[in-house]
Chain A
Amino acid sequence: MMPSNFVRFRFGLLLMAFTLCAIDGAVAEDDLLPAETSIPEAIDHYIDATLMKEKITPSPQIDDAAFLRRVTLDLAGRVPTLHEQNAYLDSTESDKKQKLIGQLLASPDFAFHQRNRLDELLLAEIKKDNNWREYLLKSVQADKPWDQMFREIMLADGSDEETAAAQEFLASRIRDVNKMTNDTSKLFFGVSVNCAQCHDHPLVWEWKQDHYFGFASFFNRTYLTKSKRLAEKFDGDMQFRTTEGEEKTAEFMFLTGVKVDEPKVEVTDDLKKERNEQIKKAQNDENAPIPEPGFSPREEFVRLALADENQSFFAQSIVNRMWASLFGSGIIDPPDQNHSGNEPSHPQLLKWLEQDLIAHNYDLKRLIGGIVASQAYARSSEWNGEGERPQKWFFAMSEVRPLTPRQYSLSLLISTTSPESLPESNEDEKWADFRQRYENSAEGMADQLERPSEHFQVSVDEALLFSNNSRVENDYLRDSGDKLVGHLKKQEQPEQQILLAVKSTLGREPDEGETAGFLEYLNERQDRPVDGLKQIVWALITSPEMRFNY
């Protein structure tokens, strides 16, 4: 990998360009680290190699308290409780980090958070659908492999109760075949195909309108019956007009260029008419039988996408998505721009992780656990080094990442609950119920916040909401016994109040300056001590340290 290419590709070539096979072929598989290497070893091997070559000294590893906060937010979707902090910081075991990761992955929190992560990736942008969310939760709880989930999401037809809600991904996009096409391609394969809808790319010969409409063909027959089931019609080819004005019929074509032929069957006009009638009935009558054509384009699509020789796109995309979620940017970044104008920063690492995922049955939990165990993951987001900050794609330091609405909302609830009202540990049997309850309570606030996307900025609406909305006062600053403020007011020493307030919210001890500042403030607010505590907690929960994973 040539660093000079980074600059050229990332900044110079601002072009829509798609090379479909080139990326896959760029890395010779023989050169990769052995398959038995552990995930964190492989990550650190490849990341460090580039850093060495570029003579970049990465920022140091974060301390225990900061690691606990970062990894709990990433695996459990919330900040650590006071109990969890004390347990982790007090532990002297040499493998406590590995144990913590294992414990978080095994806790009920992980399934909730991973469910939310997948929902935010696939559907939350469009709608909130509780059945779909329940389907995701159950799937993650059952450790369902990612390729199996993909198969269910693409092929569920509502006939099997367990997977029925999986059809929502396509059903919610049913009115627009371009949306089904583009979102499937972007979210499951990391390729934004929409540019080729109107024109062949002028420079990259591989990417033609044929590819776009070929991909769209797989979805063009999909419709929703009156009984709200996803089904397919008997026919319906994708017609398009090329930029040269030629009328064309698209072939069923996957991203790699591989095609499927529909078996040719002679259909009489009468039969055609009758079939159309059947479809119409299914669309208009809840009780009408749903016709089942012999040839299913979507089944062919899934078969092609997961075939050994083609599955690289699918595997690589989810590896890169999970990486981006944990690092703030992808090895290919943005993650939906997999094309020759936007090469991966670490192609060998990406290839290795992709093969590892395939070899381990698309186990995302294993992948995530491996990534967070790497040193690259645990670097500080502060830059104290010499010279300019290294560009983000070196992964020499951590990025500051905005919390998702749910992460923030849940963290607000948990950190402003009295530590005495929280279960002792996430291994506690009460914890699953507790998490479910908090997950529900967090929804109201989460709905008010914006989901982070590319170029995300915190809006002034959010600042106004936290400054002036009664929900904030009532939910987070109440001084009843079950709340943090209520707990603080029972403490006799102001130093103790400050320590508890900062630890509960920010997961660390206050520094000297903060203690002095807060003490001075509380001293001045002796006329209304509870109001004073409320303002301190408000400042803590609206501070960037609370708002971001850093």
Chain B
Amino acid sequence: MTIRHPQIDQFNRRRFLGTMAAGAGTVAADMTVLNVLKNPAFAEELKRQQKSVILLWLAGGASQFETWDPKPGRPTGGPFGKIATNQSGVEISELLPKMAQQMETTALIRSLNTKIADHGGGFSLMGTGRRPEAGIEFPDLGAIIARELGRKESKVPDYVSIYSSTEGRRNGTSGFLGGRYAPMFLTQDVIPPNLSRLEQVSDLDHVQRAELRQLLTDRFQSKRQSLVVSSQTSAYERVRGLMSSERLFDVEEESSSMRAFYGPTQFQQQCLIARRLVEAGVPFVKVARAWWDSHGQNFETHRELCADLDQGMSALLTDLEQRGLLENTLVITLGEFGRTPGINPSLGRDHFASAWSCSLSGCGIKGGTVYGKTDPDGNTVADGEVGAGHLFATIFSALGIDWQKEYHQGSRPIPITDFGCEPIKDVLA
């Protein structure tokens, strides 16, 4: 079928050629890549754009004592021991034996003091890298990464957020960056909403009506330069590509041995989906694992959840490395906060934001390092205190994003890194 508009035809014939045009477009895009590589500035840009982040979000707040900063034998230490890792001098909880064998790509930060210890406040602080401020909605990490690393014409989503559990489920926010960078949020279904074609609309109709739409768009757009109109055009242009990314969410496409390698739990299978997404070029994937909020039975909880995390995370790092993706993929484990040194009468640990840990692996990270130190009982940060802003600056630096970059809201400059914060150089490669 050809739909022609005499006045528009000369400007943009490619659009009316339907599926053929899509094929031609792909070739053209690849050619552009080749040309671009010859120009160092653009090559740098392109290199940056190929980077990705997987955030393993430990919702509810994991205990640093039972993960990255064990204190066995101390009154606050709890029943579990620590084990040596394959990096000399680095010891972690015995609940993470698999990770202990592959710390060469992971750096630990043991000196977070983020002060806010309620779930909502902690989520907002660790999600956006700064405290909220009345009158302005800050974008979260995923939206910033989507904006900095996403490609305009990308056929894959820029920001996918997987949150299957009901506990503490909070949507991400693209804040003032707007809906363009909002997460594709997966809760009930494994497949994102509106990604599959309705049965009642045939594939042919689906393609052809988009071409009819384009006919009207070209007429309208040719004499109006408007960013908001272009945003609508590019959103619709991305639809078919995104629909073809539906299969990325289908773990059944992976071999049974690969699925077994990641492990059978929902979280572990979602780690595999995260790898599939990143491999296809999605810049930011968040996989949330809930139920870490262990006010009661902290040790039983962590025995179970750490096993889940240890298996999923170690498999993810190994798989990324074997595929050559790890040098371009930053894997972060983080939650709202850590847990108290004190153990309450229900054998639980409560919210604690004064001295806790997180990990960074892969892209731009100096593996095997440990930054910062808590006191012998883990009550306070003894050395290298950092906050959410420092962590964000470090993440930006690791990905080659200018951490001093500014956005603007009206005339007000908004630095992507919170005021007074710098990257933690010791953990950067």
Do A and B originate from a single complex?
yes
Taking beta carbons and an 8 Å cutoff, which residues of A are in contact with B?
Answer: 13-17, 176, 178-179, 181-183, 186, 192, 194-195, 197, 334, 336-337, 341-342, 381-384, 389, 399-400, 402, 450, 452-465, 467-470, 473, 511-514, 516-518, 520-521, 524, 531, 534-536, 538-540, 542-545, 547-548, 550
Contacts A/B (CB < 8 Å), 15 sampled:
A383-B225, A400-B226, A458-B180, A464-B242, A467-B210, A468-B194, A513-B215, A514-B215, A534-B205, A536-B209, A538-B212, A544-B216, A544-B221, A544-B229, A545-B220
- Complex Cα distance, B7 from A516, in Å, reads 12
Name the residue on B nearest A10 (C-beta): B411
**Max chain B C-beta neighbours (<10 A), residue from A460, A514, A534:** A460
Interface string of B202-213 (1 = CB under 8 A from A): 100110111011
Chain B neighbourhood of A531, CB < 8 A: 202, 205
Chain A residues within an 8 Å CB radius of B243: 467-468
Are B198 and A468 neighbours in the complex by a CB distance under 8 Å?
yes
Decide if A513 touches B224 in the complex (CB within 8 Å): no
- Going nearest first, the 4 A-B pairs with the smallest beta carbon separation are A459-B179, A457-B231, A539-B212, A513-B5
Instruction: Report the Cα distance A130→B194, complex, angstroms.
Output: 29
Do residues A463 and B236 form an inter-chain contact, with CB atoms below 8 A?
Answer: yes
Say if the beta carbon of B219 comes within 8 Å of chain A. Answer: yes
> Is B410 interfacial (CB-CB < 8 Å)?
yes
Interchain CB contact under 8 A, A459 and B182? yes
CA distance A342 to B409 in the complex (A): 13
The answer to whether B228 and A457 have CB atoms under 8 Å apart is yes
Bound state CA distance, A89 and B365, in angstroms? 67
Whether B28 sits at the interface, judged by CB under 8 Å, is: no
Asked whether B224 lies within 8 Å of A514 as measured between CB atoms, the reply is no
Please, how many angstroms separate the alpha-carbon atoms of A383 and B224 in the complex? 7
Of all chain B residues, the one with the shortest Cβ separation from A341 is: B411
Q: Inside 8 A of B213's CB, which chain A residues have their CB?
A: 538-539, 542-543
Given contacts A182-B134, A452-B228, A544-B220, 5 further A-B contacts (CB under 8 A): A458-B179, A459-B235, A464-B195, A511-B219, A536-B209
Q: Is the CB of A453 within 8 A of B176?
A: yes
A550-B223 Cα distance, complex, nearest whole Å: 12
Contact B180 A179 (CB under 8 A): no
What A residues does B412 contact at CB under 8 A? 14, 16, 192, 195, 337
The interface bits of chain B over 233-248 (1 if a CB of A lies within 8 angstroms of the residue's CB, else 0) are 1011011001100000
Set B3, B8, B220, B410: member contacting A521, Cβ < 8 A: B3
Residue of A nearest to B232 (CB): A458
Taking CB atoms, residues of chain B closer than 8 Å to A524 are 1
CB interface residues, B 275-305, toward A, < 8 Å: none
When distances are taken between beta carbons in the complex, the residues of chain A under 8 Å from B265 are: none
Instruction: Give B173-206 as 1s and 0s: 1 = Cβ < 8 Å from A's Cβ atoms.
Output: 0001111101010000000011111101110011
Q: Do B217 and A544 touch (CB < 8 A)? A: yes
Q: Are A463 and B235 in contact (CB under 8 A)?
A: yes
| Bound CA span A470–B196, Å | 11
B210 partner residues in chain A, CB cutoff 8 A: 467, 539
Q: Which residue on A lies nearest to B236, using beta carbons? A: A463
Q: Does B408 contact A (CB under 8 A)?
A: yes
* Complex contact A544–B233 (CB within 8 A): yes
By beta carbon, the residue of chain B nearest A459 is B179
Is B253 in contact with chain A by the CB < 8 A criterion? no
**Once bound together, how far apart are the Cα atoms of A517 and B3, in whole Å?**
5
A194 engages B135 (CB within 8 Å): yes
Whether the pair B209, A547 counts as a contact (CB closer than 8 A) is no
Q: Is B227 an interface residue when CB atoms closer than 8 A count as contact?
A: yes
B74 an interface residue at 8 Å Cβ cutoff? no
Tell me the smallest distance from the CB of A355 to a CB of chain B, in Å: 26
Contact call B176/A514, Cβ cutoff below 8 A:
no
The verdict on A456 contacting B410 (CB below 8 Å), with A517-B5, A535-B209 known, is no
A539 to B412 alpha-carbon distance, docked (Å):
39
| Neighbouring B residues of A550 by C-beta, 8 Å | 220, 224
Complex alpha-carbon distance, A39 and B221, angstroms: 32
A538: chain B residues at CB < 8 Å are: 209, 212-213
**Complex Cα spacing A512 to B220, Å:** 14
Q: Is the CB of A540 within 8 A of B216?
A: yes
Taking the complex as formed, is B89 at the interface, i.e. its CB lies under 8 A from any CB of chain A? no
Quote the shortest CB–CB distance from B413 to chain A (angstroms): 6
Shortest distance from the beta carbon of A30 to any chain B beta carbon, whole Å: 31
- Give A400 to B225 CA distance when docked, in angstroms: 9
Alpha-carbon distance A176/B182, docked complex (angstroms):
26
| B30 located at the interface, meaning its Cβ lies under 8 Å from any Cβ of chain A in the complex | no
Nearest A residue to B413 via CB reads A14
Asked whether, in the complex, the Cβ of A454 is within 8 Å of the Cβ of B232, the reply is no
Contact B182 A539 (CB under 8 A): no
Residues of B within 8 A of A462 (CB): 179, 232, 235
**Distance in angstroms between the alpha carbons of A91 and B224 in the assembled complex:** 30
Complexed CA–CA distance, A195 and B180 (Å): 27
Tell me if B176 and A464 are in contact (CB < 8 A): no
Evaluate contact between A456 and B196: CB separation under 8 angstroms. Answer: no
Residues of chain A within 8 A (CB-CB) of B201 are: 473
Contacts A400-B224, A520-B3; is A464 near B135 (CB within 8 Å)?
Answer: no
Shortest CB distance B25–A (Å): 17
Q: Does the CB pair B410–A461 fall under 8 Å?
A: no
For the complex, what is the distance from the CA of A181 to the CA of B231, rounded to whole Å?
A: 34
B252 at the interface (CB under 8 A from A): no
Is the Cβ of A473 less than 8 Å from the Cβ of B200? yes
Please tell me if the beta carbons of B1 and A521 are within 8 angstroms of each other in the complex: yes
Question: Hey, what's the 0/1 contact readout for B149-161 against A, CB within 8 Å counting as 1?
Answer: 0000000010000
Say yes or no: A465-B228 contact (C-beta < 8 A), given A457-B179, A459-B179.
Answer: no
Taken together as a complex, chains A and B put the C-alpha atoms of A384 and B225 apart, in Å, by: 11
State whether A543 touches B231 (Cβ < 8 A).
no
Whether A176 contacts B229 by the Cβ 8 Å rule is no
Chain A residues with CB below 8 A from B29, complex form: none
Kindly state the separation between the CA atoms of A469 and B239 in the bound complex, as whole angstroms: 13
Report whether A383 and B223 are in contact in the complex, using a CB–CB cutoff of 8 Å.
yes
Write the nearest CB–CB distance from A469 to chain B, whole angstroms: 5
Cβ of B4 within 8 Å of any chain A Cβ, yes or no, is yes
A322 to chain B, nearest CB (A): 19
Is B6 an interface residue when CB atoms closer than 8 A count as contact? yes
Interface-centre pick from A384, A452, A467 (highest chain B CB count, 10 A): A467
- B192: nearest residue on chain A (CB-CB)? A464
Contact B235 A382 (CB under 8 A): no
Asked if A459 and B180 make an inter-chain contact with CB atoms under 8 angstroms apart, the answer reads yes
A458 to B220, CA, bound (A): 16
- Cα of A28 to Cα of B106 in the assembled complex, Å: 66
A545 to B219 alpha-carbon distance, docked (Å): 10
A548 touching B228, Cβ below 8 Å: yes
A503 to chain B, nearest CB (A): 14
Among B194, B231, B409, B413, point to the contact of A458 (Cβ < 8 A).
B231
A186 and B135 contact, CB distance less than 8 A:
yes
Q: Is B20 an interface residue (CB 8 A)?
A: no
**Interface contact B178-A467, CB-CB below 8 Å:** no
By beta carbon, the residue of chain B nearest A192 is B135
Contact of A450 (CB < 8 Å), options: B157, B179, B202 = B179
Give chain B nearest CB distance to A467 CB in angstroms. 5
Q: How far is the CA of A163 from the CA of B68 in the complex (A)?
A: 56
Set of chain B residues within 8 Å of A342, measured between Cβ atoms: 410-411
Interface positions, chain B 399-414, Cβ under 8 Å from A, are: 408-413
Interface pair B239/A460, CB less than 8 Å apart: yes
